[in-house]
Structure 1
């Protein structure tokens, strides 16, 4: 019997890759709004940190390092990363809605 190999799908065209790219685009947009609005520095720093972490994961998956480093459980690491990102962004969103904010800060945080 002949075994069928699974077709290798590049990371950028997979569902996981598309979601990560969308997440990166949204976080970069949020950071751009904070920079344009001259928001307080912690807003920009936290969103910049999130951009760096998301970019790191994208590069890691594009280079297929998740297949080489098998001592880590990558799906759990992705979930933890997403939870931490969600918590940080919720905090920033709530802080951005404080009454003395500009439109761009509200757009970046919401």
Structure 2
């Protein structure tokens, strides 16, 4: 029972739905990282099957471990939780170092007359290096379009 002096009920404003970020697995960066993981693991598998020299296996195995670490880091959103490190910079450095190592290992695997599996490992290593460069470029592009921290790009028109 409403009293005579009560205000009529007001309608509530519609709720604003917060736009969810796309999960890492469905982003372009996630696809490139997972392709990079698959190519590196395939290269390592071919090196193991061919009983290639240990440095080939160790370097590709180490890269598989590091790539898997970064994928888990981004999937579990730990990069947002552990903000004491600048993860995109570490990811770019890792991509460039991996590209250099994989190019060296692949060229060393492809130069001498070796078994078919070592050649396949070298070819997949070159493909891994290309994916590493693409991964680093994607992260760099995201940093430049969405800078965070003290450095922010500003337009010349904003200064006036």
Using structure 1 for the length normalisation, give the TM-score. Answer: 0.91
Shift of 1:97: 1.6
Q: 2:98 aligns to what?
A: 85
Determine which structure has greater relative contact order: mean sequence separation of CA pairs < 8 Å that are 6+ residues apart, divided by chain length.
Answer: 1
Q: 2:117 aligns to what?
A: 104
Q: Write the distance in 1 (CA, Å) between the matches of 2:29 and 2:112.
A: 37
Is 1:5 the counterpart of 2:9? The answer is no
Residue 85 of structure 2 aligns to a residue in which SS?
A: coil
Pick aligned residue for 2:40 from 27, 34, 42: 27
Is 1:64 the counterpart of 2:64? The answer is no
Residue 9 of structure 1 aligns to a residue in which SS?
A: coil
Q: Write the distance in 2 (CA, Å) between the matches of 1:44 and 1:84.
A: 17
Shift of 1:11: 1.2
Q: Write the distance in 2 (CA, Å) between the matches of 1:53 and 1:40.
A: 21
Deviations 1:30-64 (A, max 9, x none): 01111111111110011000000000111111110
5+ residue gaps, structure 2? 1-12, 124-160
Using structure 2 for the length normalisation, give the TM-score. Answer: 0.64
- Runs of 4+ more than 4 Å apart: 1-4
The number of residues matched between the two structures is 110
Pick aligned residue for 1:95 from 100, 103, 108: 108
Shift of 1:4: 5.6
RMSD of equivalent CA atoms: 1.6
5+ residue gaps, structure 1? none
Q: 1:76 aligns to what?
A: 89
